Amino acid sequence: MTVKETFMIMIIFFLIIILCFLDSLDASWVNTLNQGDKLNSSAYLVSAGKIFTLGFFIPSTFSNDSCLGIWYSNDSYRKVWVGNRNTPIADNSGVLTIDSVGKLIITHNGGDPIELYGGLTGTNVAATLFDSGNFIVTVANNNGSKKTVLWESFDYPTDTLLPGMKLGVNHRTGQKWSITSWVGQDVPASGAFTLEWDPTKRRLIITQRGVIHWSSGILGDKNFEFITIDPSNLNYVFTNVSTMDEEYLDRKVISGWLLDYHGWIYDGDRPMIAQVDLCYGYNKDKGCELWKQPQCRNGYQKFDERSGHFNDSDKASFYDGNTSIGLSDCREKCWNVRDCIGFMADIRGTRCLFWTKDLEFIQDYAGSSARHYVLSSDQPPPHNSKLMHLLVCGLFNSPLCPLKSNYHVGIRFHLSPSPLYKERELTLLAQKYNSGIPQFWCLVPYTVDYTKQLGISLRFQRHQAHHQKSHHALSRAASLLGASLLPLPLSHTLPRAFHPALSCAAPATVHPRAPFVYREPRVRRSAIVHPRAPFC
């Protein structure tokens, strides 16, 4: 045999090997699983247009658990559906198959089969992955001319709403269409947030463990109140479909929505649809809903994400090792615990570590330390309708408070400048002075009826000439603040809440929902502003 002949034989041999490899590769990239076929962890189904891929994947680098999923062929990180999200396989032994009676199941080592479709349909059953991302089980008649849909993955979405999916309910079958977030970034199990359609009020809602936290607002002329749509963006056309069999929201879209474990709804690179983590139950902006609040929280508190650590944290922390709860559950637990001032989840986004009591958070501004969520108070700047300016007088030499008194004066009352603010009970104590009628000034909003609040009769008195200048200045300040100036005289009907040797030396600015700090009375020229209502 010549060298040339030997060379030709080698080329033919290598071509045969390559063709065999390509043939096996094409076989692993089919879009249909027929009855009796087996799809293991090294094989995939690929839709006809190669848009979506179905196969087994390992969600986290910190675990060997594997799941059956569907993802974009050009982006394997974007999982759009998980078949066994709440029953992961402990290793990579999973095999997808259609058994002899027509069940679509996942078999694996050391456990019972995981059933995706359990109908007893006999033979001629197949499952096909389509370019829409829908995985459909069908049965063909004997001659194969007609196929009947038995089951489809679009009826069992996970955290992603693809074009063609529905949000609503099928009255005939009882099937409810909704999407639910993952527990954490690498944990596909059912998480805290669920997006669903409310056909009664014609709105989208996001619930956290059954409690409504966000609403899109009512569907109007193809738009929602709290979903901002760019007029030049033709990606959305919303329609409410209502028939005897089903009610659902129809979305004519070219992209999918992702509900993540924070409660955010993403739509690719378009503006975010919703941010539920901005909702605390006391604010109604951007679609947030109100829900029952613990008494130990107020409308200025929230959790900020910071890098750093708590000082002396080992002495004031506790741990919740439940792997089925995520970051949002940690926040909810901390929010409802009186002494909780911060929390964090583990590296997988599950389980919770909490910090309590009076600890100081040491922030790492370089951002290289662990991320914590720290309780903070976001009190807004002064605003006419939101601040109470209290001028408690009886002062020794102040031009704003020229009156002097021989009496101990104390008045106990409630301040309610707005229905949004909780009622705060303040105790104002003033020092006894040398002479004159005991009075103090109180700058209050016009909306408050202090005659009823105080339970006393108020008499306006003429002041002496040397008081007119300061009274005019105070009245003008009150007018600018949208408030009225009430001189309160001593009366036998006043509550006896006196305390000796106390006075105020300067105006005090107090917000009804801001945290108050109690200070022990000091002798001479001091004032106490203290809430009686419990505050934590």
Q: What is the mean pLDDT of the chain?
A: 73
d(CA 390, CA 511): 10
78: left (phi over 0), alpha (psi -120 to 50) or beta: beta
The boundaries of the domain holding residue 148 are 26-156
Tokens of 404: 């002097």
Final residue before a domain boundary, out of 135, 156, 177? 156
- What pLDDT, on the 0 to 100 scale, is given for residue 254? 62
- What pLDDT, on the 0 to 100 scale, is given for residue 17? 63
Same domain, 75 and 174: no
Same domain, 169 and 276: yes
CATH number at residue 332: 3.50.4
pLDDT digits (tens, 9 = 90+) for 39-76: 999 999 999 999 999 999 999 988 899 999 999 999 99
d(CA 31, CA 45): 5
Q: Can you give 514-527 as a three-state secondary structure string?
A: CCCCCCCCCCCCCC
pLDDT digits (tens, 9 = 90+) for 368-387: 999 999 999 877 665 544 33
Tokens of 351: 């389980």
Same domain, 364 and 397: no
Number of domains, the chain: 4
Same domain, 268 and 167: yes
Mean pLDDT of the region 114-142? 92
pLDDT digits (tens, 9 = 90+) for 152-164: 999 999 999 998 9
Q: Give the H or E element holding residue 196.
A: strand 187-198
* Cβ atoms 482, 494 nearer than 8 A: no
pLDDT tier, 234 (very low <50, low <70, confident <90, very high otherwise): low
d(CA 430, CA 394): 6
Final residue before a domain boundary, out of 324, 345, 377? 377
- What pLDDT, on the 0 to 100 scale, is given for residue 486? 44
Q: What is the DSSP string of 29-46?
A: T-SEEETT-EE-TT--EE
* Residue 442 falls inside a structural domain: yes
CATH number at residue 42: 2.90.10.10
d(CA 280, CA 335): 9
